[in-house]
Amino acid sequence: MTTAPTAGSGTAEPGDGTPRRKAVVVLVSIALAALLADLFTKHLALVTLDDRGPVRLLGGAVYLTLTRNSGAAWSIGADHTWVFPLITIGVVGWIVWMAVRLRSLPWAVSLGLVLGGALGNLTDRIFRAPGHFVGHVVDMVSLFDPYGQVWPVFNLADSALVSGVLLAVLLELTGRQRDGSRAGAPRAAETAAGDRDAAGAQPRERA
């Protein structure tokens, strides 16, 4: 006699019970929120900071200064701007592939932040001057110096990307898997089951 499967059992994760659909919705929602927030702050920077000197905030801990970056941090790779969109497209493809087996909400948050940040800067690379796939990224936040001498000038997409990567590192270090399980948990469960079987076998041996 077979029992009917419970609703959603086809997508539930044995580790934490999170359905894949829910995890993917969280990933997409966070990515979209990060992308829209990045586009809005870049538009705001272009409108308010163009042809204006750096704006000093928090006693000089933060400066708002409009820059256009053709490379990566500290303008690394500025002469090879076309490489960065290709790398970003590869990252986006990897995240889409990872979403197929995604069951963990923390990993959904992490990948969503990375995806949103990557798409934010990819949008600049594709659509901003001087041309398609060689566009310059709009940056506007500088720490402890108005011109990025202490830390590279960055934008909200960079912040989302770095936050997502740091969260991913933390999840890896704590053994959280993308399918919702924890590293070593299956082995512990098997050991406990073996102990129970051994305990149940002892009375039969004495009998």
Residues known to be catalytic? 139, 158
| Interatomic CA distance for residues 177 and 16, integer angstroms | 11
Nearest Cα neighbor of 41 from 161, 164, 156, 159 is: 156
Residue 99, number of CB atoms within 10 A of its CB: 19
User: 54-63, long-range: CB within 8 Å, 24+ apart, which pairs?
Assistant: 54/142, 54/146, 54/147, 56/146, 60/144, 61/143, 61/144, 62/141, 62/142, 62/143, 63/141, 63/142, 63/143, 63/145, 63/146
| Interatomic CA distance for residues 47 and 56, integer angstroms | 17
Helices and strands (H, E) in the chain, number of each type: 5, 3
Nearest Cα neighbor of 11 from 186, 182, 183, 179 is: 179
3-state DSSP assignment of residue 3: coil
